Amino acid sequence: MQQKHDNIRPIGIDWDAQPYATESNLQIAARLGVNPTTVRYHRNRRGYPPFEVARDRIDWSTVVWANKSNAEVAAETGMTTRSVFMARKRMGIPPCTKRGGNSRNK
């Protein structure tokens, strides 16, 4: 007999209590220490739509870019690293130069 996917899950996580309406899969996954795909599975299973940050909610001119990688800015804003990279490029802000910065998008 084949096991259901839901039977294999981290112990102690109350998936019904997660803030699916206000946090991205990446944010929830980082907080819980699980894979974002796992969060997506539980979000979908409970009927929540994918989390989307409205583009007009981010005022990129107010973001503190100094010495922050795209990943750090993404974590702070709830946006993807690709969105941060594109905003940085549009605004003419040079890539982060500190060690560990996102150098793939130069």
Q: What is the pLDDT of residues 60-70, one digit of tens each?
A: 889 999 889 99
Nearest-angstrom CA–CA distance, 47 and 77: 25
**57 contact partners, CB below 8 Å, separation of at least 6:** none
The two three-digit tokens of residue 33, written as one number: 């220490």
User: Model's pTM, two decimal places?
Assistant: 0.46
Distance in angstroms (rounded) separating the CA atoms of residues 55 and 83 = 10
Q: Is 95 exposed, middle or buried (0-12, 13-18, 19+ CB in 10 A)?
A: middle
CA–centroid distance for 82 within its chain: 11
What per-residue confidence (pLDDT) applies to 104?
52
